[in-house]
Amino acid sequence: MIQLLLKMIPYQFFHPWEVVDLNRYSRNISTLSQEENQVLLQSKVCVIGCGGLGGYTIEMLGRLGIRTITAVDGDVFDETNLNRQILSDEHKIGQSKAIAAQKRMAVVNSDVKVIPIVEFLNESNAQSIISGHQVIVDALDNIPTRFILQEACHSLQLPLVYGAIAGWYGQASTIFPNDKTLNKIYRINTSNGKEKELGNPAFTPALISSIQVSEVVKILINRGDLLRNKLLFINMLDHEYDVIDL
Amino acid sequence: MKIKVKLFATLRINREKEMLMDLPEGATPKDIIGQLSIPEEDVAILFINGRGRKIDTIIAENDTVSIFPPVGGG
C-alpha cells in the first residue's frame, strides 16, 4: 500500500527543480516501473551511426525518455538511404544524419537533448566521443569500425549493444567491457559483410534496432536477461530466430 | 565418417540448409567449405557442436558443423 501511495506521488515531488511531464511516459508504466522510468530520464546513451539502425534506435530511446542521447555520424543522406533510414526524407538529401537526429527529436520529445557529433568514429576520436555515457549503441555500417568501437568500450569499461543487418538477416548481442564478443562473431575482421551484396530493406533495421533498444533499457534498469555472450541471429526469410551461445 | 553441416543466411543460396557429408578421417571445416565452394572470407562464425572453433580443427564422426556468413550492415 505504501508503495502504491509512493507511486502516486508525482515525480516533481522528488525533483522539484525540474518539471517533467510524466503523462507522456504513462504508457511505459507498468512495463517499466516509475522508478525505472526515472532511471531512463537520467540516462545518457551514445548511438554510433545514425543510418538504418541508428535512426530507429534514437527514435525509440527518445520516446522512452532517455534524456541525453549523443548521435554520431559524419555522413549525409543520399537517395539510397530513403528505403529504410527513418531520419531521411526527400528534403534532407545532402544534409547531416546526426543533425537530422537532433532536429527530429526536438519535435518528438523536447525533453530529450540530442547532441549531434558530425564525425565518423575512428581510433583517435572514439574514446572522447563515448566517454561519459552509460551505454553505447553500435549502429555502424561496417565491421572494421565496430572493432574500433569495441576496443574503445573495453578501454573505458562501458557496455556496448551491438546490432548488424544484411538483407533478410540481422543479429544482435550485448557486449560487456571484457567480453570481446566481436572476435567471436567475426572470425576475420573483413570489410566484406553480406550487406554489400544484399543491401538492406526497410524492415530489417527496424527489427534489430528494437532488440538493441530493449537491451539498452535492460542494462539501464538492471532487469531481465541480456544477450551477453550470446548472439541473436534472425533470418526473416525462413523465420528462424536463434539465440546462440558464443 | 558422417558429419552434419548446417548453413545459415546467404550460405544457403544454391545449397541445402542442412546436409550430411561423408568425409575422411582427419577432415576439417576447411575441407567442408572447399567441397561446398564457400569462400573462406564468407565464414564469419564457425561452430562445431555449438562451440566456436577454428577452420582447421579436426572434426570427429557425427559432429555438427554450423557456418554463418559475415553480417555487418547498419
Kindly give, in sequence order, each residue whose CB lies less than 8 Å from that of residue A197, ignoring residues fewer than 6 positions away. Answer: A166, A167, B10
Annotated domain spans of chain A: 31-245
- CA distance linking residue A136 with residue A62, whole number of Å: 15
> For residue A12, what pLDDT is reported?
44
Contact A51 B41 (CB under 8 A): no
For position A27, what pLDDT does the model report? Answer: 87
3-state secondary structure of A76: strand
For domain A31-245, which architecture applies?
Answer: 3-Layer(aba) Sandwich (3.40)
Q: Give the lowest-confidence range in A2-16, A53-67, B3-17.
A: A2-16
- With beta carbons under 8 A apart, name residues in chain B contacting A235: 8-9
Give the C-alpha separation, A101 to A72, whole Å. Answer: 9
Q: What is the mean pLDDT of residues A73-96?
A: 97
Percent of chain A with pLDDT over 90: 82
**What would the mean pLDDT of A38-65 be, rounded to a whole number?**
97
**Mean pLDDT calculated for residue range A186-196:** 83
Check whether A25 has a pLDDT greater than 80.
yes
CB contact under 8 A, A185 and B74: no
The pLDDT assigned to A13 comes to 42
- E-assigned strand segments in chain A: 44-48, 68-72, 113-117, 135-138, 160-166, 169-175, 230-235, 240-245
In angstroms, what CA-CA distances link A115 with A94, A130, A131, A146, A241? 20, 12, 13, 21, 34
All three cell numbers of A237, joined, read 526469410
CATH dotted code for B2-68: 3.10.20.30
The percent of residues above 70 in pLDDT, for chain A, comes to 91
Closest CA to A165 of A213, A202, A200, A137: A200
Q: Do B52 and A140 make contact, defined as CB atoms within 8 angstroms?
A: no
Nearest-angstrom CA–CA distance, A203 and A110: 27
- Strand-pair category, A135-138 with A230-235: unpaired
CB contact under 8 A, A188 and B73: no
Task: Give residue-wise pLDDT tens across range A120-171.
Answer: 999 999 999 999 999 999 999 999 999 999 999 999 999 999 999 999 999 9
> Angle formed by the axes of helices A203-221 and A34-41, to 10°?
110
pTM value?
Answer: 0.91
Residue pair B3/B63 in contact by the 8 Å Cβ criterion = yes
Per-residue model confidence as pLDDT tens digits over A26-40? 888 779 998 999 999
A221: closest CA of chain B, how far (Å): 26
Residue A34's CB: how many other CB atoms inside 10 A?
Answer: 19
What residue ranges do the domains of chain B occupy? 2-68
Residue A8 has pLDDT above 50, yes or no: no
Cell 508504466, residue? A29
Using a CB-CB cut-off of 8 Å, the residues of chain A touching B69 are: 194
How far is residue A16 from each of residues A9, A10, B47, measured CA to CA in Å?
Answer: 12, 10, 55
Q: Is the pLDDT of residue A19 over 80?
A: no
Taking only the tens place, the pLDDT of each residue in A206-222 is: 999 999 999 999 999 99
